[in-house]
Amino acid sequence: MSSPYRIMTVCTGNICRSPMAEVVLKARLADAGLGDSVEVWSTGVSSEEHGNPIDRRAAAVLHDAGYIVPRRAARRVTAADLGSADLVLAMTAAHARRLRDLTDRPVVRMYRAFDPDAPSTAGLADEHRLDIDDPWYGGMEDFRVTLAQVEAGADGVIDEVRRVLAAR
From CA 130, how far away is CA 15, in angstroms rounded? Answer: 20
Q: What is the pLDDT of residues 95-150, one digit of tens each?
A: 999 999 998 888 999 999 999 999 988 777 889 999 999 999 999 999 999 999 99
State the catalytic residue, choosing from 16, 17, 57, 112: 17
Per-residue pLDDT reduced to its tens digit, 48-83: 999 999 999 999 999 999 999 999 999 999 999 999
Helix, strand, coil shares of the chain as percentages rounded to 5?
Answer: 50, 15, 40
Catalytic residue list contains 11: yes
Burial profile 142-160: b = 16 or more Cβ within 10 angstroms, e = fewer: bbbebbebbbbbbebbbeb
pLDDT at 1 over 70: no
56 is catalytic: no
Question: What is the value of pTM for the model shown?
Answer: 0.96
Kindly list the structural domains of the chain, giving each domain's residue range(s) and its CATH number in brackets, ordered by start.
5-167 (3.40.50.2300)
Q: Is 134 a catalytic residue?
A: yes
* Selected catalytic residue, list 86, 133, 134, 155: 134
